[in-house]
Amino acid sequence: MLRKINAMEARQTLGQIMNAVNLRNDEYIIERKGRPIAALVPVWMVLNKRKRSIEFLKLLQKGRENIGDRSREEIQAVINEAIEETRKQSGQTE
């Protein structure tokens, strides 16, 4: 569950928030003066995002090595292929 809280509430209830994030996979947006300044999310989400980003960059680099004198459309196809492969590897679909 995504919840928005202000910074004061976050300071006062940090232990409870951490338990909710850890046990229920809750997500929190921490706001100051109504503006989002931070997020508290399960660590697995951060690690998965980082892993997908690294995998995507590796695939993109692999595609870059094979670009040569390709057209803009062919280059976009290589990028799309890298995106699709990364999604398959992470089990993400859109």
Output the DSSP codes for 58-88: HHHHHHHHTTTT--HHHHHHHHHHHHHHHHH
Q: Mean pLDDT for the chain?
A: 87
- For residue 91, give the 3-state DSSP assignment: coil
Res 63 pLDDT > 90: no
Segment among 10-14, 29-33, 45-49, 84-88 with least mean pLDDT: 84-88
pLDDT value of position 49:
87
pLDDT at site 22: 94
Taking the model in full, what pTM does it have?
A: 0.59
Q: Residue 52's Cα: distance from chain center in Å?
A: 8
Per domain, the residue ranges of the chain are 2-41, 48-90
CATH 3.40.50, applies to 2-41: no
pLDDT at 83 over 60: yes
